[in-house]
Amino acid sequence: MSTARRTALVSLVAAVVLVVVKAAVGFASGSLGVLAEAAHSGIDAVAAILTLYAVGVAERPPDREHPYGHGKAQHLAALAEGAFLAGAAVWIAVEAVLRLRSGSSPVDARAYVFVVVVFVLAVDAGRATLSYRQGQRERNAALIANAWHFGSDFIGTLAVLFGLVLAAAGVPGGDSVAAIFVAAIVLVAAVRLAAGNIDVLMDRAPKGQDEAVQQVVRNVDGVAEVRSVRVREAGGESFADVVIGVSRLEGLERMHDTSDRVEQAVRDSLGRAQVQVHVEPATLAEERPNERVAAAARRVPGVVEAHNITVLEDAAGRAVTLHVRLPEDATLRQAAQAVERLKREILAEVGIARVYAHVEPSAPDAQPARDVSDTEPELRDRAAAAVRTVAGTAGEVVVYRQGRRLLVVTSLTVDPATTVREGHALASRVEDAVRDELTAVDDVIVEVR
């Protein structure tokens, strides 16, 4: 049995004991206040049974018919407790008013009645504290409702004690006045209990939580903007739906990582919570022209990759040059259609009509090849000599044959202070030198590090 259910069971046992004790003393003394408290405790017993059942239902795991779990059973039980409390309050008030109008019945306020009332106060204080602490710890609405219920019992019993003191002092109607005070306390508790749980059942946003979550999400790396946040609570758990904007230049994996960080940040803020994050592309004001061209290329079906993007400025306006990878088995007609779509997207994105696209084949699968550096040493030596004439050192040179294709791969180590622009220029000169030396070469890959 869970801690919450044990707490509810203890409350039920206490309520039954108090009903018996209060009823016996109330009838023996003729005190309407004590009888009102007995009726109040009877309602408590019914509410405790309801709470025990509701907590058991709320702890069930989600299923096909209840994918969000059964947590709202707690709030339905708390709402029913509020209705019971309101009914008890009306009954107590009516009975007290009738007694006052007809002349209050004599109350036999003996010493044992005061002893019992003090005992009841101790029990009410203990179970209210236990239920409240456990309810707060587990965010359990049914247990917190019980705590409010028991707290109203405690205050009501204090009023009954005051009425008994008045009755013992010979003040007429003191007991009935105390009963009316109990009814008022019970009614206020019922209204407060019902209002709070109706808010939850109607998915009212907890005050201030939307703003708090927005602030937390804005501080997550990778989040460009927070577009909407919705938070609700049920069954001691928060449910948050967050829509964020992430730079459209981020890859899918980085977007997913950002989403994960947002989920964790929201859980850290709310505690126990289920979080749904929806990611949308965000156009950032600081995007550069070539970045916007890359974003436009990603919108074109069939374009595997766009690289070597350059935006040129001249007196006639701007132009774009770029390399576009398309599936190697695509026909030239299909490639032309993809390039035309790409040009339209670039025009819509950055307003540039002059676009020149160099189409390259994309082969996503691993390509069979043979390292022929040792079996055809002459090719390797000629390639290494060409590299050496430009770079001053040959570095690592490997020659591959891929079917009929000939590939030369070289890796050069340079001064770490060299800029990327300077490194690329060196790689281009090395590539040209190798192609001049080996006219049959199909591709030259130069790594500068």
Read off the pTM: 0.54
Count CB atoms within 10 A of the CB of residue 49: 17
| Cβ partners under 8 Å of residue 75, min gap 6 | 141, 142, 197, 200, 201, 234, 235
**Whether residue 92 sits in one domain with residue 60:** yes
* 8 confidence band (pLDDT: 50, 70, 90): low
**pLDDT number for residue 108:** 62
Count CB atoms within 10 A of the CB of residue 253: 8
Last residue of a domain, one of 263, 282, 301: 282
Average pLDDT in the chain: 81
- Tell me which of 240 and 410 has the higher pLDDT: 410
**pLDDT number for residue 408:** 96
Containing structural domain, residue 434: 370-448
Q: Decide if pLDDT at 420 tops 80.
A: yes
86-107 pLDDT, tens per residue? 887 787 788 778 777 776 555 6
**Whether residue 117 sits in one domain with residue 52:** yes
In 3D space, the residue among 125, 142, 15, 34 whose CA is nearest the CA of residue 79 turns out to be 142
385-404 pLDDT, tens per residue? 999 999 998 889 999 999 88
**Whether residue 224 sits in one domain with residue 155:** no
**Whether residue 240 sits in one domain with residue 109:** no
Q: Decide if pLDDT at 446 tops 60.
A: yes
Q: Decide if pLDDT at 345 tops 60.
A: yes
Mean pLDDT of 140-147: 67
**Whether residue 312 sits in one domain with residue 441:** no
* 151 confidence band (pLDDT: 50, 70, 90): confident
**Whether residue 387 sits in one domain with residue 275:** no
**Whether residue 139 sits in one domain with residue 81:** yes
155-212 pLDDT, tens per residue? 777 777 777 777 777 766 776 777 777 778 778 777 876 776 676 666 666 677 788 8
178: domain CATH number is: 1.20.1510.10
**Whether residue 250 sits in one domain with residue 307:** no
CA–CA separation, 143 and 2 (whole Å):
13
The sheet with strand 273-282 has its strands ordered as: 225-234, 237-247, 273-282
273-320 pLDDT, tens per residue? 889 899 998 877 778 888 889 989 988 999 998 999 999 998 878 999
331: domain CATH number is: 3.30.70.1350
In 3D space, the residue among 125, 146, 152, 124 whose CA is nearest the CA of residue 55 turns out to be 146
Considering its fold, how many domains does the chain have in total? 4
* Residue found by looking up tokens 């409010």 in the block: 148
